[in-house]
Amino acid sequence: MTDNQAGIVTAGVILIGDELLSGLTQDTNLKTLAEFLGPLGVQVREARIIADDAHTIRDTIRAFSHRFDYVFTTGGIGPTHDDITADCVAAAFDLGISEREDALSELRRRYTDNELNSARRRMARIPDGAVLIRNPVSQAPGFQTKNVFTLAGVPRIMRGMLEHIPHRIRGGAQVHSRSVTAEGIGEGDAAAHLAEIARAYPGVSIGSYPFFNAGIRGVTFVARSADEAVLDRIQRELTDLVDNLS
């Protein structure tokens, strides 16, 4: 991977669920994952929301696994008929899948044997060779298959699972940011000058983000890079830009 050679470690996020696409549920997991991975030196390069469709899930996991250093999926590992992510992960890597005793042991921390009906036992079906990810909230485990981490879709449960992942991540250069905010100007006022700064620093992500608060318009300029010395220079240039436009 080209990014890898530059010391950059990448991640792709796959958000699974018809409820996300219909608008019934608003996703917050992407923000959580990005904030979790950033300090570990992993940059989220793409996120995709997909339906509960077996072929789409399988093909997306397979493609993302080749394109990114790490892949995170959320959703589809519960006890109902449309929870098919585990089967799709297995299919993506041509693996078998079966009920595993270590996963059942985790479920028994929450459920009695009488409560472990066939629906709940579906949550103990794990692709062959996958490593479990502890779930301190509801005990039904997630799992890691090669470079793919399969997590719950419920935000509180997913956050709990993340506690057991950092030691499995080999990160790269940590990305830092600098921001400069100006009131009374718009993106169009700064666009030409901002483009000049961006051309001078081709390895740095530089963006502008307008805001409108209580009748006050403005824009925040954000630069992101692993090189803090370069960011300091850009911050000074952005500050000069704002001063000249104000």
Please state the pTM of the whole predicted model: 0.85
The domain boundary, picked from 168, 200, 231, lies at: 168
Is it the case that residue 5 has pLDDT exceeding 60? Answer: no
Summarised one tens digit per residue, pLDDT across range 76-125 is 999 999 999 999 999 999 999 999 999 999 999 999 999 999 999 999 99
Residue with tokens 């992407």: 30
pLDDT above 70 for 174: yes
Q: How far apart are CA 181 and CA 216, in angstroms?
A: 13
Q: Are residues 116 and 217 in the same domain?
A: no
DSSP per-residue letters across 160-178 = HHHTT-GGG----SPPEEE
Do residues 138 and 197 share a domain? no
| Residues 197, 97 within the same domain | no
Check pLDDT > 60 for residue 1.
no
Task: Say how far apart CA 101 and CA 67 lie, in whole Å.
Answer: 33
Query: How many structural domains are present in the chain?
Result: 2
Supply the pLDDT for residue 172. 85
What is the pLDDT, as a whole number, of residue 3?
53
Asked whether residue 181 falls in the same domain as residue 160, the answer is no
Same domain as 48, residue 7: yes
Q: Which residue has the higher pLDDT, 214 or 1?
A: 214
Report the amino acid identity of residue 56.
T
26 and 116 share a domain?
Answer: yes
- Domain of residue 15: give its range: 2-168
Q: Same structural domain for residues 182 and 76?
A: no
User: With 50 as the cut, is the pLDDT of residue 2 above it?
Assistant: no
For the chain, what is the mean pLDDT? 94
Residue 185 tokens read as: 């100007």
Q: Directed axis angle between helix 187-200 and helix 228-245, to 10°?
A: 150
> Can you give the pLDDT at residue 153?
97
